[in-house]
Structure 1
Amino acid sequence: MKSAVETLEPTRAKLTVEVSYEELKPSIDHAYSHIGEQVNVPGFRKGKVPARIIDQRVGRAAVIEHAVNDALPGLYRDAVAETGIKPLGQPEVEVTEVPNVTGPVGGQLTFTAEVDVRPEVTLPDLSTYELTVDTVEVTDEDVEQRLESLRERFGTLVGVDRAAAEDDFVSIDLSATVGEEEVDSVTGTSYQVGSGTMLEGLDDAITGLSAGETATFTSTLVGGERAGEEATVTVTVNSVKERELPAADDEFAELASEFDTIEELRSDLREQIAKDKNANRAVAARDLLLERLREEIDFPLPKNAVDAEIKAHLQAEGKAEDDPHGEEVREDTEKAMRDQFILDELAESFGVQVAQNELLEFLLSTSRQYGMDPNEFIQSASQAGQIPVFAGELARNKALAVALRKVTVLDGAGEAVDLSEFIGSDEDDVVVSGESADSGESADSGESADSGESAESADSGESADSADSADSAESAESAPSAD
C-alpha cells in the first residue's frame, strides 16, 4: 500500500492511497464467500458457489464494491498510521479507481480521503517561565472560622421567641399569585434566613418577622410553567429557631476529633488550612500556566470541527442548526478546543500515558460527581464510546501537572514554591522529557485527594468541556465507507 499526504490548509489534509490487487485479494475472497452464502444457485450449496458463477449471477462489480467497502476502514486507518497525520472527525472519501470488473483479473484500488487534522502546535521553553502565586499565611482568624464551621456541624436548633434574623432557621408557608390566580404554594418548608436559595426578596421579607406574622413582596418566579413572570408572594413565618453551638473547649475537641484538647484541635486545623491554601496555590499556578500558554501559542482551528461541535451542542439542546445560540457558544467552543490541542501537545511532548488503574480511579471519581453507581456509570460510558474521552481528559490533566514541574513558581516574596505534594515529581514518574516522548508512563500526581483541588484534578468543568469539544472530533479513525 502506498500513501501520500497533501496539505490543503493548515488544518486540512488529503490522503491518496493506492492498494494493489494482491493486497486487496483477502477482502475480495471474503466478498465472494459472503455473497456465496446469500445467493441460491441450483446445483450448488450455499457457501460453495464458485467465483465464476457469482460473477455471472451477481456481477463482478458487486463483488469488488463489497470488497472495497469492507476493506476501506482498515486501509484508511493504516494510511493514517503510515503518514502520521492526526485526523479530526470523519473523512470525506472518494474512490477513484477499483480493480478490473471486466477483462483480466487485476488492477488496483485508489482512493482519496480529505479530513481535518490537528494543527501544528509549537510549545515554548517552559523552563523560562516564572509564575507568581500568593504567599501562604494562616491567621488566627482563619483557624477560628474553620473551628466555627466545625462547631456548626455539631450545633442544635433551638426555638426562640423573637423576630427572625440572618442565619436563623424558619418554618414558612409560601403562596404566589399572578393576577388573581394562585400559581404555586408550599407549607411548612424550612429555610435559613440569608441563604438566598429561594425567591429573590424572600430574605428581606422574612427578616424582622416573628412566628405567626405575614409579609407580602413581589418577585420573579424561577420555576414551573410561569417561570420568568412577576408574582405577588405571601410568606408566613410559623417558627423561628437559632443554631446553638457547642462551646469550643476540650470536651468539644474530644467529641469532634481524635484530639483531647481544643488547642490540639486548633493546631490540626491550622495545618489543614495551610495544606488547603497550598493546594489552592497549585490550582492557581496551573491556571496561570494555561492562561500564559493560551496567550503565547497561536495556531488556526479546524473550522469544520468547530462547526460540528456547535451543531452537536445545539442538537443536545433540541435547537435547529441555524439557531442564534450557536454563535453565542462559538467562543467557548473555540477556547475549549484550543486548550485541548495545547494540552494534547504537552501530553505527547512529555510522553504522558494513562495507566489502567488511573483511568479506573478517574471513572470512579467521576461517577461519584454525577451521583451514579460506578458500575452503571462505567457501563454506560463504555456503551456510549466515552471511555477514550475520559482517558484523554485524564491525560491532559496529567500533562498540565507535568508541565507545571518545568516552570519556576514563586510566592509574593520571591521565594520558590514547592508544589510537588500536589503535582508529583519527575523522580516519581517514568516520563520521557523534552523532545523524546516515545515511551513512559506518568504517575498519578494528584495526591491531595482530600482537598479536591490538586492541579491535576481541579477545574473538571473546563476539562470536561475540552473533552467534549474536540475528543469527539478526534475519534478520527472511525470507519469511512465508499460512496
Structure 2
Amino acid sequence: MKANAERIEKNTVQLEIEVEAEQFDRAIDIAYRRLVQRYNVPGFRKGKTPRQIFERYVGKEVILEEAMESVVPEAYYKAVAETGIEPVDQPKVDVVQAEEGKPVVFKATVLVKPEVVLGQYKEVEAKKPLTEVPEEEVDKAMERLQQRHAQLLTLEEGIVKKGDIAVIDFLGRVDGEPFKGGEGADYSLEIGSGSFIEGFEDQLIGVSIDETRDINVTFPTDYQAAELAGKDAVFTVSVRGIKRKELAELDDEFAKDVSEFDTLEELRTDISNKLKEAAEERAKFQLRQEVVSKIVDGTDLEVPAPMVESQLNDMIRNLEGRVTSQGMTMENYLQYANTTIEELRGQMQPDAVWAAKMNLIMEAIAKAENIEATEEEIKEEAAKIARYYNTGEEELQKILDNKGQVNFLTDQIVREKTLQFLADNAKIIEGADEPETKQAGEPEAENTGEPEAGDTNEPAAE
C-alpha cells in the first residue's frame, strides 16, 4: 500500500491511497463468497452459484462495492498511522479507480488536529496565591464544629430567633394567585442560613409558635423561574415549631467527644494544620489556573468544529452524571433551569471552545517538553483505582490489560505532569489577589450560569 498526505487547507488533509491489485483481487473473491450466500439464483442452490453466473445475475459492481467496503477502511486507517496525521472527524472518500486486476486508488479528505504554534509558556507571570491561615479562620472552623455537634432542643413556646430552625407551613402568592412550588408544609428552615429569598428569614424573627404572618418579598430579577423573576410576592407563613441549638462548651471534654484528641489545644492545632493543607492545595490550583489561562488566551488557535462538538458532548455527559448522582434526571434539571438542551449547549459552547483549545495546547507543550507517563506511574495510578474499589491484584492486572483504561491513565498522568511543569516554570510575583481565571481543565457546567443540580425547587429559595 502507498499513501501520501497533503494539507490542502488550514486544518484539512487529503490522503491519496493506493492498494495493490493482488490485495483488491483477494477482497473481491472474499466479497463474492460472502454475497453468494445471500442470494437465491434460479437453478442453483444458495451459495453454489458459479462466480461468472453470479456476476451476471447481481452485477459485477455489487461485488466490487462489497470488496471496497472492506478494503477502504483498512487502507485508510493504515494510511493514517503511516502518515502520522490525527483526524478529528470522519473522512470524505472519493474513489479514483476500483477495477479487478488493477490497484485501488482513492482519496480521503479529513479534518485533522490543527498545528499548534506555541508562544511563551515558560516564565509566565503569575501572582503568588495566599497560603496563610488567619487565626480567625481557625476560630470559625471551631465554631462550625461546635454548631455541627450542637443538640437541638424543641421549644414548647417562644419566638423565632436568628440561628433557630423554624418549622413552617407557607403559601406564596403573586398578584393574589398561588404559584407552582410556592407551597410547603412542616418545612425546616434555619434562620440566617440564606436559604430563602432575601428578607424572608429576617421577617420570621420574633414570630411565636402557632402564629401566622404575611411576609413580603421580591424575587431577584435573575431568578431561575422566569415567570417569577423580579415580581413581588406575599407568603403566608405559620410557625408550627421552633428548634434551638444548644452549644457545648469549647473545652477539653468537647475535644474528647468530637475527636481523637484529649485536649482542645490539640484539636485546634489539628484543625489549623488541615486548613493550612487546604490553603496550599487551593494556592497550587490557583497558580495553575492563572498560568494555563494566560497561555491559552495568548495563543492564536482555530479549533475545528468537530473537536468543539466532541468537547461539548463530554461536558453534557459530565453534567448529566452529576445530575444523576444527586438523584435528579436531566429532564428535571432542564425544567428547573427553565431551559432546553439546545439552549444549554449554546450557553456551554464558549467553554467547550476554550477547553478544546486548552487540550490542544497542553498536548503540544507535553510533546515539546517530552513529558510522558512511565510504566511505573501508570501502574501506580492503576493500583490507586484498585485500592479505591477494594480489589486485588487480579483486578489491577485487568486495568493494566485494558488498552482504553491505560490510555486514559496515561493522559491523566501526562496532564498532571504538564500542569506541574508549567507551575514550576512560572515567574511568581509576590502580593497576589486571587486570579479570576478559568479552571485548568474541563470547564464545568456552572460556567453557563445555570443553577446547580440538586438545589431545592422551592421558589422561595435563592
If the TM-score is normalised by the length of the shorter chain, which range does it land in? 0.7 to 0.9
The answer to whether the 8 Å contact 2:138/2:271 transfers is yes
Q: Verify: 1:249 aligned to 2:251, yes or no.
A: yes
Change (3 A) 1:255 1:64: same
Amino acid at match of 2:25: K
- Whole-angstrom CA distance in 2 between matches of 1:411 and 1:96: 61
Q: Verify: 1:355 aligned to 2:366, yes or no.
A: no
Q: Verify: 1:398 aligned to 2:379, yes or no.
A: no
Deviation at 1:178, TM superposition (A): 3.8
Q: Which moved more, 1:138-147 or 1:78-87?
A: 138-147
Deviation at 1:64, TM superposition (A): 0.9
Deviation at 1:304, TM superposition (A): 5.4
- Whole-angstrom CA distance in 1 between matches of 2:60 and 2:269: 84
- Whole-angstrom CA distance in 1 between matches of 2:27 and 2:379: 35
Q: Which moved more, 1:122-131 or 1:31-40?
A: 122-131
2:178 counterpart (161, 164, 182): 182
Q: TM-score, structure 1 length as denominator? A: 0.70
For residues 368-389 of structure 1, what are the alpha-carbon distances to aligned partners after superposition, in whole Å with 9 as ceiling and x for unaligned? xxxxxxxxxxxxxx9xxx9799
The answer to whether the 8 Å contact 2:17/2:79 transfers is yes
Identity of aligned residues (%): 27
Q: Verify: 1:215 aligned to 2:214, yes or no.
A: yes
The answer to whether the 8 Å contact 2:373/2:410 transfers is no
- Whole-angstrom CA distance in 1 between matches of 2:357 and 2:77: 25
- Whole-angstrom CA distance in 1 between matches of 2:118 and 2:83: 22
RMSD (Å) for aligned C-alpha atoms: 4.1
The answer to whether the 8 Å contact 2:307/2:356 transfers is no
Deviation at 1:201, TM superposition (A): 3.7
Q: Which moved more, 1:191-200 or 1:386-395?
A: 386-395
Amino acid at match of 1:355: I
- Whole-angstrom CA distance in 2 between matches of 1:306 and 1:395: 23
- Whole-angstrom CA distance in 2 between matches of 1:320 and 1:279: 36
Change (3 A) 1:50 1:246: farther
- 1:24-423 equivalences under 5 Å are 24-41=24-41, 44-98=44-98, 100=99, 105-124=100-119, 126-129=121-124, 131-159=126-154, 162-183=158-179, 184-213=182-211, 214-220=213-219, 228=229, 231-303=233-305, 305-306=307-308, 329-348=348-367, 349-352=370-373, 355=378, 358=381, 394=412, 397-404=415-422, 406-408=424-426, 410=428, 412=430
- Whole-angstrom CA distance in 1 between matches of 2:130 and 2:36: 76
Change (3 A) 1:9 1:244: farther
Q: Which runs of 5+ in 1 are unaligned?
A: 368-381, 415-457, 467-483
Amino acid at match of 1:202: F
Deviation at 1:261, TM superposition (A): 1.0
Change (3 A) 1:198 1:46: farther
Paired residues, number: 400
Change (3 A) 1:16 1:461: closer
Change (3 A) 1:295 1:328: same
The answer to whether the 8 Å contact 1:343/1:396 transfers is no
Change (3 A) 1:290 1:115: same
Change (3 A) 1:259 1:329: closer
- Whole-angstrom CA distance in 2 between matches of 1:225 and 1:292: 36
Secondary structure in 2 matching 1:66: helix
Amino acid at match of 2:290: L
Deviation at 1:223, TM superposition (A): 7.8
- Whole-angstrom CA distance in 2 between matches of 1:313 and 1:398: 20
Q: TM-score, structure 2 length as denominator? A: 0.73
- Whole-angstrom CA distance in 2 between matches of 1:159 and 1:325: 45
Deviation at 1:130, TM superposition (A): 5.1
The answer to whether the 8 Å contact 2:351/2:443 transfers is no
Deviation at 1:118, TM superposition (A): 1.0
The answer to whether the 8 Å contact 2:172/2:234 transfers is yes
- 1:447-462 equivalences under 5 Å are 462=443
The answer to whether the 8 Å contact 2:27/2:67 transfers is yes
- Whole-angstrom CA distance in 1 between matches of 2:133 and 2:105: 69
For residues 158-217 of structure 1, what are the alpha-carbon distances to aligned partners after superposition, in whole Å with 9 as ceiling and x for unaligned? 245554343321111110224444334211110112223234542233233232331322
Amino acid at match of 1:149: R
The answer to whether the 8 Å contact 2:355/2:442 transfers is no
- Whole-angstrom CA distance in 1 between matches of 2:303 and 2:347: 17
For residues 428-467 of structure 1, what are the alpha-carbon distances to aligned partners after superposition, in whole Å with 9 as ceiling and x for unaligned? xxxxxxxxxxxxxxxxxxxxxxxxxxxxxx877527999x
Q: Which runs of 5+ in 2 are unaligned?
A: 318-329, 390-401, 433-438, 448-462
Deviation at 1:16, TM superposition (A): 1.7
- Whole-angstrom CA distance in 1 between matches of 2:315 and 2:134: 46
Deviation at 1:320, TM superposition (A): 10
Amino acid at match of 1:300: E
- Whole-angstrom CA distance in 1 between matches of 2:340 and 2:32: 44
Amino acid at match of 2:28: I
Q: Which moved more, 1:78-87 or 1:9-18?
A: 9-18
Amino acid at match of 1:9: E
- Whole-angstrom CA distance in 2 between matches of 1:172 and 1:96: 77
